[in-house]
Chain A
Amino acid sequence: EPEVTQTPSHQVTQMGQEVILRCVPISNHLYFYWYRQILGQKVEFLVSFYNNEISEKSEIFDDQFSVERPDGSNFTLKIRSTKLEDSAMYFCASRRTSGSPIDTQYFGPGTRLTVL
């Protein structure tokens, strides 16, 4: 069964450093998402991406964040200058279409980001 994959599974970085989290969505999916979950808290929407551009973003997704689909398979989240409060699990998700809820979002296994 096709699945969303993410790398790395765990990233440790120093405050102020740039990190890139990588995701490979399911191949025939058209909509891509990043969510994050701070330890012990709820899953929070960051950004959605379709047709090579951001379609929706949350207040969390400020100028420090950017997303890119550099080729036909990868979908990346870049944090330019990490802060301690960026420590969280980051989940990538993909979805075949947007109009019908029947096409559910499939989540990747997540990348645990630890900022020291």
Chain B
Amino acid sequence: GQNIDQPTEMTATEGAIVQINCTYQTSGFNGLFWYQQHAGEAPTFLSYNVLDGLEEKGRFSSFLSRSKGYSYLLLKELQMKDSASYLCAVWDTNAGKSTFGDGTTLTVKP
């Protein structure tokens, strides 16, 4: 089966750093993606991790530990426009699809 867990909601202050965690238990794993989704819009790709470790991309970083079934998305220097849902998705090559978590709604306050 597929099980992907993320916190439902998080709140942080503009300029701060926030870490959004994702744990997964899936029958197949070939990579983990993070997407950002604003209300009423499509998911937009932020990052992916295939191997263990940290991938940095500007203000966003993503970390993966395959042995622990764990990933996090780190957002630095938060801006108001970062208020959105952040979706963790596991890619399974054998199944040929992404399985999404429920998403974490991040609210950035002044």
A43 vs B97: C-alpha distance when bound (angstroms)? 12
Contacting residues, chain B, for A98 (C-beta < 8 A): 93, 96
CB distance from B5 to the nearest CB of A (A): 12
Size bracket of the B interface:
20 to 34
In this assembly, does B98 line the interface, its C-beta being within 8 Å of a C-beta of chain A?
yes
Residues of A that sit less than 8 Å from B by CB: 31, 33, 35, 41-45, 48, 50, 55-56, 89, 91, 98-99, 101-102, 104-110, 112
8 contacts between A and B (CB under 8 A): A33-B97, A44-B100, A56-B95, A102-B50, A105-B45, A106-B45, A107-B43, A112-B40
Residues of B that sit less than 8 Å from A by CB: 30-31, 33, 35, 37, 40-45, 48, 50, 87, 89, 91, 93, 95-103
